[in-house]
Chains A and B, each alone.
Chain A
């Protein structure tokens, strides 16, 4: 058993840290998220040049062939900088599907993804299904060599920037059957796709996406028709593992900032950090953080386990991260007092990102239920 990072992994972390340091101070980030584009294409290109968009892909596919620990490192460092560029959406989630796709599909799509020319988004959520990934009304009807896609996906993260979408659709079965779900690669510029793009609370962007008789060639199907659900669960768990890492990055900054603030802010003739009630709150924040780091390591080390074990690990980690995200985010604002309520301090921005991570791919309640059912 060994929890230390290799030299190569430390090097990777340093690379990302200097990227974030050079490109992501608070003011620069503010400019990026307030621009119409909402992200920086330059940053995306730089990430490609650093090879980071190829982290999980095999060398044959043009990637770095790194594992989940490396992805965790990238996501954690991005979390510290509140990076808005859609790394997790494109590389971890859509990349997760693509690296298990056919040879032909990998050859067709991965070069564009790894080079930074194409951004990808996963369209899975539907209003009626809440966090159930199997509750799918969007339909893909087969006709000869073609599928016709119809229906609506909601709050598709990173979709405004995406060139390509991966869409979960029902090819057979009832609305929430785990069987009968298929995954399709869809060019966002296809006829019949309309989107409503918007900013999100945490400075990112998302879209409502409607499909109206969108024609898809059967070559756009990932894996077998109707059997995509296990792959969706797997990639969702990998995404959760990366979100956990992003969250601990954000938590670490909030904790450091809060401790620093309480050491310098004086009231009643002394630093407010001298008051025991605040000390205990910060100690609880710290303990929540340490437990979150541990659960993030745990899930990232268990992604290769068989389905049930992996799924329990992901749900367990997500529960811990959701609870800690809430406690640390709220406490950081509270301890900063009125200043914590302002848009001009970074505290609120970290709090918002952590609040959104709570909901992404299922909140604490959802994963506690899932964990209980798997136990």
Chain B
């Protein structure tokens, strides 16, 4: 057991730093710094993902046979830490880290050949069709149905909270293919072309009020949408198994690198916030204690992550422990956002309409303040999405503690 980097690791770290310096341009930094919900424009994401792809680093978690970089655990840690430290854009996860692992594990050879390369190159943008208005925490009760019509399925129903569906070329959907006593047993996992006739996307405006077309989530409606049979993943009615497999990837990320970044930003704000008498918020022991409490909890999470991820090889799933990461990661993110709002004091109040906060207007108060309140409001979603944290605790109590 040790925490040291060898010379190769240090060289790798420099390589990552150089890459970021070259490809994470000032223009990108400016756009992202002004985003109210952490996403940038589609162009920015595609440009960034293209540079990662060309370098071979777009999918750190993929096995090498499918185009993963073959990072060691230490390299993955270094990679994520450096990316987060620089505030680099996240890669859009729906293709790369959600549907791809499912295809690798359960897809046919044709499906792998057809879909994986385009996910890797970001040629095809995916979105996730899981929740429905009546099926949130109780996902297995979903109603969106796919009827067998011989050579195709006919899909009718709706999906909600579909993140960035307005940019997506494909959606992976959980659909009901049969009515069974146990709702989990009649679900299938279907890949649907977003350009199919009968699909309608309606934006849902969230608390941060990012207006369309920059909305974060949508409701997607399916009316007699024809889906070719070859777009079924795995076996019919076995979709619940694949869905759960995917969720462990959705939840089982490392959160700590970006949390450290949040704490760093918060410290910078505290250094810049005057509290009178030539003192700054960073001199206020009450505030700093709260900040440091957060930092300690982030470190505790970081080492949980390191212990979990170092035991896995590429492409392996975390298991139900992913729920620990999801709970602690999202709750700490919210705590940091809460303290950030507290830090900026009265500057938390001005409202900024544009998603990319007032690019053409000077900010009201310090420029970093503009995105703080919208991010705080937006961040409330994190303990709701991907299975609410109440559900995560149920999973831990059942699957880990055996209660």
Contact = CB atoms under 8 A, between A and B. Distances in A.
B276 A176 contact: yes
Interface of A: 125, 127-132, 135, 154-155, 175-176, 196, 198-202, 206, 208, 266-268, 272, 275, 277-278, 326, 330, 333-334, 337-338, 340-344, 348, 351-352, 355-356, 359, 363, 365, 368-369
B346 A135 contact: no
Q: Which 5 A-B pairs have the closest CB atoms?
A: A267-B138, A135-B276, A343-B205, A155-B346, A128-B274
Contacts of B277: 135, 175-176
Contacts, number: 131
Interface string B381-395: 101110010100100
A338 B351 contact: no
A251 B5 CA distance: 52
B276 A330 contact: no
Given A129-B276, A365-B284, 12 more contacts: A129-B274, A130-B275, A175-B277, A199-B350, A267-B135, A267-B141, A272-B137, A278-B390, A334-B388, A338-B131, A338-B136, A343-B207
B350 A341 contact: no
Contact of A196 (B345, B364, B381): B364
A357 to B, nearest CB: 11
A199 B354 CA distance: 13
A199 B350 CA distance: 6
Interface in B271-324: 273-277, 281, 284, 286-287
B380 A330 contact: yes
Contacts of A135: 276-277
A356 B273 CA distance: 18
Contacts of A208: 364
Given A155-B347, A330-B380, A359-B345, A337 B388 contact: yes
A340 B384 contact: yes
B136 A337 contact: yes
Contacts of A338: 131, 136, 160-161, 217, 381, 384-385
A321 to B, nearest CB: 15
Contact of A131 (B135, B161, B345): B345
B237 interface: no
Interface in B156-175: 160-161
B122 interface: no
A130 B345 contact: yes
B349 A155 contact: yes
Nearest to A267: B138
B137 A267 contact: yes
A200 B138 contact: no
A355 B345 CA distance: 11
Contacts of A202: 349
Contacts of B371: none
A340 B377 CA distance: 11
Nearest to B281: A130
